[in-house]
Structure 1
């Protein structure tokens, strides 16, 4: 990618995230947020309006209604990105050729999918997923047979959920499950933001030989409403070294095989 194209892509991403977080912004506000000129921002907004992402108004712009769910997902992808990438790299090291795995729709698991996309030597795997983003990132990756679950589309997470997806899971057995979570609460259970997603996650855990939780340290002592399962239901956890000492001790007491990936200074 040419440097000027990379700068433009980064600027447009900043515009999208600013509009997602604020709902509406003046052109001047977007120029200050991105460090670009007003002329450049107006040109970017015209392009984004043509793509159906924003609606321009007098003196500013707002996010187009149809673009909300996808941008919400992309915003979560960017949160704690260094930790998620390091976790994805560690998870890649656990993959075994000629096995069948499930990749859930979480943004940390997405980093494992992107690591697979960047592989130099083909790694033959059969992959099932309920994540549209995961499936899209694995299109035409040599060595991979990718299967996307059917079911009801959950817009907020770009994922497939519901009874039909659960029935499909009942027909397959996975050597490994790579699972994300919205939260690990103080009761040492995994939680998520959607009841259908929680139910599907439980079905995933029931259909695998090895469940591996990929969760950065911010997920611990966080909160979400729907219980999935105790963290003792997974055999392996990969998180980052910023996890507090209390949780490290609890995971040791639970005898869960845990990997703590180191973070850079700027993480």
Structure 2
């Protein structure tokens, strides 16, 4: 079989079962371990499959994102840990972009005490929190209002964000693979692309449950990110693959209680 035929065979096997072992694929295809791994890598880079220990599985599909009020209750400990680790990348005097999301809200809560900070966001909840809990210079993008996610998206939002040069941009997502970020909505793409394009350092912040999830619209390739901050439940193979791509991986620890440091809000 040529590579395209082998890769289609792998996808056919996965359509029948959730996970297929590498050993089984070697046996059925009659090729070497290296050849199977190479075919899986090609499929993984396209976002269609994801490696698991000793095998491969299809990426999960995301058809519609949950609203803000539901997302804030999911994986709260992991989001707090990621927020704390990501906040450690922010220094006094920086210009920071915070993408809309419940994980980036945790970053906002931990950078409120930084001095001479400028924060730009498209998220209404983040903006409202920082407006009362910090003295940073604060901008909201405006734009088309997405009510469920309490944020702004689309062309008007991205045009406003393009006015700034960010020292660091924190990007959120509900679906990502080694190929990159995707979304059920094409309106989120322009906002994230502009923020990354204007940033000296681009950081993806997302808990491990979002990995191996794919949505209809491709938004950003993983190669645009300098850093990924996630939790320690991320698959070791995924972290290793990111590092091979030249992306720094920060694994956040989740202690039993998440105490904010002095200068951060209670």
Fold agreement, TM-score > 0.5: yes
What secondary structure, in the 3-state scheme, does the structure 1 residue paired with 2:190 have?
helix
Give the C-alpha shift of residue 92 in structure 1: 1.1
Q: Do residues 232 (structure 1) and 223 (structure 2) align?
A: yes
Report the Cα distance in structure 1 between the residues aligned to 2:115 and 2:77, rounded to whole angstroms. Answer: 24
Structure 2 counterparts to residues 1-267 of structure 1, below 5 A:
72-117=67-112, 119=113, 122-185=114-177, 187-264=178-255
Greater helix share, structure number: 1
Deviation at 1:89, TM superposition (A): 0.4
Corresponding position of 1:30: none
Local SS of the residue matching 1:156: coil
- The CA deviation at 1:158 is 0.9
Q: CA deviation at 1:172?
A: 1.4
Instruction: Report deviation, 1:143.
Output: 3.3
* 8 A Cα contact 1:116 1:138, kept in partner: no
Q: Distance in 1 between matches of 2:251 and 2:149?
A: 26
Query: For 1:214 and 1:221, how far apart are their aligned partners in 2?
Result: 15
Deviations 1:233-264 (A, max 9, x none): 01011101100122122112112111011235
Q: Which residue number in structure 2 is paired with residue 32 of structure 1?
A: none
- Mapped to 1, the partners of 2:188 and 2:148 lie a distance apart of 11
Q: CA deviation at 1:223?
A: 2.3
For the Cα contact (< 8 Å) 2:78–2:231, is it kept in 1? yes
The structural deviation recorded for 1:167 is: 1.5
Question: How far 1:162 sits from its partner (Å)?
Answer: 1.7
**Secondary structure in 1 aligned to 2:111?**
helix
Separation (CA, whole Å) in 2 of partners of 1:137 and 1:130: 13
Structure 1 residue ranges (4+ consecutive) displaced by more than 6 angstroms after TM superposition: none
Give the Cα–Cα distance (whole angstroms) in 2 for the partners of residues 235 and 184 of structure 1.
15
SS in 2 for 1:138: helix
Mind listing any 5+ residue stretches in structure 1 that lack a counterpart?
1-70
TM-score by length of 1: 0.68
User: Which range moves more in the overlay, 125-134 or 161-170?
Assistant: 161-170
For this pair of structures, how many residues does the alignment match?
192
The two structures, once aligned, show a CA RMSD in angstroms of: 1.8
> Is the partner of 1:74 in helix, strand or coil?
helix
CA shift for structure 1 position 77 = 1.0
2:88 & 2:214 partners in 1: Cα distance?
30
**Cα distance between partner residues in 2 of 1:130 and 1:112:** 14
Higher RCO, Cα 8 Å, sep 6+? 2
Question: What's the TM-score once normalised by structure 2's chain length?
Answer: 0.68
